[in-house]
Amino acid sequence: ETGVTQSPTHLIKTRGQQVTLRCSSQSGHNTVSWYQQALGQGPQFIFQYYREEENGRGNFPPRFSGLQFPNYSSELNVNALELDDSALYLCASSLGQLNEQFFGPGTRLTVL
Partner 1 sequence: SQQGEEDPQALSIQEGENATMNCSYKTSINNLQWYRQNSGRGLVHLILIRSNEREKHSGRLRVTLDTSKKSSSLLITASRAADTASYFCATESDTGGFKTIFGAGTRLFVKA
Q: Provide the binding-site residues for partner 1, judged by CB under 8 A.
A: 4, 33, 35, 37, 39, 41-45, 48, 50, 55-59, 88, 90, 92, 97-106
**Shortest distance, position 90 Cβ to partner 1, whole Å:** 6
Calpha distance 53→47 (Å, rounded): 11
Calpha distance 28→100 (Å, rounded): 13
**Shortest distance, position 16 Cβ to partner 1, whole Å:** 26
Calpha distance 86→41 (Å, rounded): 13
**Shortest distance, position 54 Cβ to partner 1, whole Å:** 9
